[in-house]
């Protein structure tokens, strides 16, 4: 009986977000048609292999009223030289001592002329309409807009990370379309005046999350599902762990109260991940093949539809139960490590 209850909880949880996602597709997005001057900031540190394509993707935007500011954060390779090789009157390139991403962004902010500040990473390619789609979402009291992050590459880990971001895209359409919890670093936009009021980009290992929390004090942060950025992610499990550990420990420093976006929601998500991990095993051990098949079909269907709509790989969607199992185990271990680390710090 407990096994069936666990399965029902999973189906209700995933179904809740899936059906809210479908409902969100039927609602028109709130937008404003305007063409403010935009400054796109690209902080870069040792990105000589990718910086050229990143700059080109920004210059190729279908939004013409912009400038591109590259901030070489004291790179030890030829990032600066590669960036300088691109000739375009909209491009400005600066070099500063290495102080980290947040300070590089704030340096770029001090040089920016735009009313809207767009941020992206030096290993990221923006879809041609990304800037335009970000700008259109600044209606009324909106102070920041976050776009959809996707992952380049075909290895297992890259596919797993892309399907993870597609799941995040489904969640954001379902629950955060008009109330986004984090404007992601690879593709976000801010009103410059609000950033300045907030003291600029927050110096944190999770500057996107921390900055989002600060600007939310001045207005709304919303999601623009059509603004897409394709970024490079880690190829090894070791590097993936290091990245997500840094993100999670940073997030824990900024968490507060609240049912849906803070501690309770985080712990509830961990409980669902635990069920995702043990329920399939128990269904197999108890030879409950019909329930196992129901679980697999449900998870695949709820991933295929967002994949078709958002533009992902169908094979990845068909393999979603495998990716789901991987991420459930990965995040349970990561979060346990994070909780123990935070507890240890408090006890010392």
> What pTM does this model have?
0.91
Comparing 260 with 266, the larger pLDDT belongs to 266
pLDDT in tens, 87-135: 999 999 999 999 999 999 999 999 999 999 999 999 999 999 999 999 9
State the average pLDDT over residues 183-195: 97
Please check whether residue 100 is in contact with residue 199, taking contact to mean a CB–CB distance below 8 angstroms: no
pLDDT in tens, 225-255: 999 999 988 789 999 999 999 989 888 887 7
Instruction: Round to whole Å and give the CA distance between 278 and 246.
Output: 27
Instruction: Round to whole Å and give the CA distance between 157 and 167.
Output: 15
Q: What is the model's pLDDT at position 129? A: 97
Helix 289-310 × helix 320-347 angle, to 10°: 90
Is the confidence at residue 71, as pLDDT, over 60?
yes
State the average pLDDT over residues 307-315: 91
Q: What is the model's pLDDT at position 348? A: 66
What are the Cα distances from residue 139, in Å, to 23, 29, 212, 213?
A: 22, 10, 17, 19
Is the confidence at residue 260, as pLDDT, over 60?
no
Q: What is the mean pLDDT of the chain?
A: 93
pLDDT in tens, 20-66: 999 999 989 999 999 999 999 999 999 999 999 999 999 999 999 99
Percent of the chain with pLDDT over 70: 97
Type and span of the H or E element at 196:
helix 192-197
Q: What are phi and psi of 44, to 5 degrees?
A: -140, 135
Q: What is the model's pLDDT at position 258? A: 47
Q: What is the model's pLDDT at position 261? A: 55
**304-329 burial, b for 16+ CB within 10 Å, e for fewer?**
bbbbebbebeeebbebbbebbebbbe
């Amino acid at each position: 009986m407990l096994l069936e209850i666990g399965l029902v909880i999973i189906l209700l949880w995933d179904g809740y977000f899936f059906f809210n996602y479908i409902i969100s597709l039927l609602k028109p997005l709130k937008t404003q048609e305007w063409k403010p001057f935009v400054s796109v900031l690209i902080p870069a540190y040792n990105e000589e292999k990718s910086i050229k394509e990143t700059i080109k993707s920004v210059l190729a935007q279908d939004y013409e009223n912009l400038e591109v500011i590259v901030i070489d954060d004291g790179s030890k390779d030829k990032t600066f030289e590669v960036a300088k090789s691109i000739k375009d009157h909209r491009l400005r390139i600066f070099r500063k001592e290495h102080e980290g991403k947040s300070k590089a962004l704030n340096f770029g902010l001090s040089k920016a002329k735009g009313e809207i500040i767009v941020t992206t990473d030096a290993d990221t390619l923006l879809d041609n309409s990304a800037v335009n789609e970000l700008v259109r979402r600044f209606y009324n009291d909106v102070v920041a807009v976050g776009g959809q992050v996707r992952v380049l590459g075909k290895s297992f880990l890259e596919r797993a990370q892309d399907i993870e971001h597609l799941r995040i895209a489904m969640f954001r359409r379902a629950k955060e379309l008009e109330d986004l919890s984090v404007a992601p670093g690879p593709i976000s936009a801010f009103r410059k005046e609000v950033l300045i009021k907030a003291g600029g980009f927050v110096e944190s290992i999770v500057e996107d999350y921390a900055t989002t929390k600060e600007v939310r004090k001045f207005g709304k942060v919303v999601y623009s599902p059509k603004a897409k950025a394709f970024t490079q992610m880690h190829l090894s499990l070791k590097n993936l762990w290091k990245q997500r550990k840094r993100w999670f420990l940073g997030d824990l420093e900024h968490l507060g109260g609240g049912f849906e976006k803070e501690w309770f929601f985080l712990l509830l998500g961990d409980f669902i991940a635990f069920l995702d991990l043990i329920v399939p095993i128990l269904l197999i051990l108890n030879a409950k093949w019909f329930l196992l098949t129901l679980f697999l079909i449900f998870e695949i269907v709820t991933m295929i539809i967002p994949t078709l709509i958002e533009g992902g790989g169908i094979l990845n969607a068909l393999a979603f139960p495998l990716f789901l199992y991987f991420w459930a185990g990965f995040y349970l271990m990561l979060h346990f490590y994070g909780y123990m680390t935070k507890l240890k710090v408090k006890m010392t």
